[in-house]
Structure 1
Amino acid sequence: MGYAVVLGEALVDLLDAECAGEPVFRQAIGGGPLNVAVGVARLGGDARFVGSLGDDVLADRIREFLTAAGVDVSGTVTVPAPTALAVATFAGAEPDFRFYGEPPSYGQLTADALDVALVEGADVLYCGSIVLLCPATLAAARRAWRLATGVRVFDPNIRPRLLSGPDALDAVRHTTAEFAATAHLVKLSAADADVLYPGEPVERVAARLRELGAGTVVVTLGPRGALVAAGAEPVRVPAPTIRAVDATGAGDSVMAALVAGLLVDGPPTEPAGWTDRAAFALQVAGLACESSGGAVAMPTRAEVARRFPA
């Protein structure tokens, strides 16, 4: 089994919480790609995290957390910046993130600083999320994408709070189309789909991405499961019945399960194989949602098998 390179952001989440009746923020290591890397490692895959980290104590904690989770951090670089913060509040089903830190510590990996050998040797390359809004790291991701010899996986993971200016949405659409055109797998949420193409059904959004060149598209639908577009017709995959506590990182856990499956078994040879992979990924996400936190809630294969024995 080979390894996956996960290129993206790592930061610190401050999660809205309560202690002794008073509002507080609970500190947690976060970032969608970081969650993916940890999830892959928890599911038995070899994950290598690539990105930029700050030069403070919080960055040290991120490195220690990743290392303890079994994620290789040799592809990270240290930059002279405080660790970026994401403040998460909950007013509905999805957490609302606001980001602090300018320039962001996670967005300073340059194309020249990219570990070329690490990327070229990867069986799976993941790129995506909010680092692609940062010009330096977008250039690094583009270089990694060109160098990749394995399976290319993309997740736009759009955060509307970071889209400022009249051309920001068009830029995100352009970047999404650019990476999707040569991606073997694109995973996005229904919320991402609605930002990219407002009002369009997810089936049509998935079809658009496949028309651009994406091999397979998986759209997560929260408690309604996922849509898998891999063959002639898209397939809806139901989510398992769970006792949800915290949906933070649910979509990342789906991606982690899909990446781990690519490492263990390679790409499916038939569309039905993607449906089976998505069904397992939704079990992983369901179990993650039954615990608080993002990366810390990522389950192992044994835990998934115990929770969903059927």
Structure 2
Amino acid sequence: MGYAVVLGESLVDLLEQTTGGELIYRQAIGGAPLNVAVGATRLGGDVRFVGSLGSDVLGDRIAQMLRGVGVGTLGVKRVPVPTTLAVTTFEGAEPTFTFYGEPPSYALLEPADVDTGLVGGADVLYAGSISLLREPFRSAARAAWAVPGPVRVFDPNARPTLLPDAAAVAALRALADEFCATADLVKLSSADAEVLYDGATPEAAADHILGTGARSVVVTCGARGAYTATPDGAAMLPAPAVTAVDATGAGDSVMGALISRLLADGRPADLAGWQPYVRFALAVAGLVCERPGGAVAMPTNQELIARWGALV
């Protein structure tokens, strides 16, 4: 089994919760790409995280957490700015994120910081999320994406609080299309689809993304499951029934699970090949939703078997 390179942001989530009648914020290490890296690692994958990390005590905690889980950190660049905070509020189990920290600690990776040998030797390369909204990270991601060799997986992870107007949405749509055009897999949520493609349904968004040149698309739809599309067909796969307490990181766990399967078994050739991968990923996400969210919610294979048995 080879390794995956996950390129993107790490930060600290402050998760809103009520304790003893008082509203407090629980600190949790997060950032979609970091969650993906941790998720794939806990499922048995060999993952190297590439990104910039603040030089403060919170950055130290993130680095320590990554090493403790087993994520490779040789591609991490420490930068002299405070670690970005994402204040997370909820309506039910669904989170809304507001980001604090300028410049963002996660977006200071430069093209020269990208080890092209590390990227080229990978079986899987992940790029995406909010770090793509800022330079110099965007140029660094383009440099990594241009390296031949890995299976390329992309997640736009559109956050409305970072898209203040129609021009910002249009710019992200164009950027997403650029990465989708050469992606082997694009994973996005139904909420991402609505933001990026003018209220598009999962089906319409998947059609658009396949039209750019992407080889497969998975659109997560919360409790409904995931819409999976390839040039040879499409299917809506149901999610297992759970009582969700926190959906933070659920979509990231889907991507982490898909990367773990790509590392173990390679890229499927068609829709039929993708379906067991996506069913496995939905089982992972279901278990994540039953736990307080963030990277710490990512399960192991043993935990999946204990929860779902033959389902996985």
Could you state the TM-score of these two structures normalised by the residue count of structure 2? 0.97
Give distance in 2, aligned partners of 1:22 and 1:199.
Answer: 37
1:250 pairs with 2:211 = no
Alpha-carbon offset, residue 92 of structure 1: 4.0
- What secondary structure is seen at the aligned counterpart in 2 of 1:285? helix
The answer to whether the 8 A contact 2:93-2:245 is kept is no
- What secondary structure is seen at the aligned counterpart in 1 of 2:164? coil
**1:27-76, Cα deviation, whole Å (9 max, x unpaired):** 00010000000000000000110000011000000000011011011101
Displaced runs of 4+ in structure 1, greater than 4 A?
none
The answer to whether the 8 A contact 1:85-1:101 is kept is yes
State the one-letter code of the partner of 2:44: G
The 5 Å alignment of 1:38-117 reads 38-117=38-117
Q: Which residue is equivalent to 1:133?
A: 133
**Identity over aligned residues, as a percent?**
59
Give distance in 2, aligned partners of 1:47 and 1:148.
Answer: 18
Alpha-carbon offset, residue 106 of structure 1: 0.3
Q: Which residue is equivalent to 1:15?
A: 15
Give distance in 2, aligned partners of 1:148 and 1:65.
Answer: 30
Give distance in 1, aligned partners of 2:116 and 2:101.
Answer: 28
Q: Which residue is equivalent to 1:173?
A: 173
User: Where does structure 1 lack aligned partners over 5 or more consecutive residues?
Assistant: none
The answer to whether the 8 A contact 1:125-1:148 is kept is no
The 5 Å alignment of 1:1-310 reads 1-310=1-310
Give distance in 2, aligned partners of 1:231 and 1:222.
Answer: 24
- What secondary structure is seen at the aligned counterpart in 2 of 1:167? helix
User: Where does structure 2 lack aligned partners over 5 or more consecutive residues?
Assistant: none
**1:5-33, Cα deviation, whole Å (9 max, x unpaired):** 00000000000012222111100001000
The number of equivalent residue pairs is: 310
The answer to whether the 8 A contact 1:63-1:73 is kept is yes
The answer to whether the 8 A contact 2:217-2:230 is kept is yes
**1:234-260, Cα deviation, whole Å (9 max, x unpaired):** 100000011221111000000000000
The answer to whether the 8 A contact 2:190-2:201 is kept is no
Moved more, 200-209 or 125-134: 200-209
- What secondary structure is seen at the aligned counterpart in 2 of 1:292? coil
**1:75-109, Cα deviation, whole Å (9 max, x unpaired):** 01011100000000012442110000000000000
Could you state the TM-score of these two structures normalised by the residue count of structure 1? 0.98
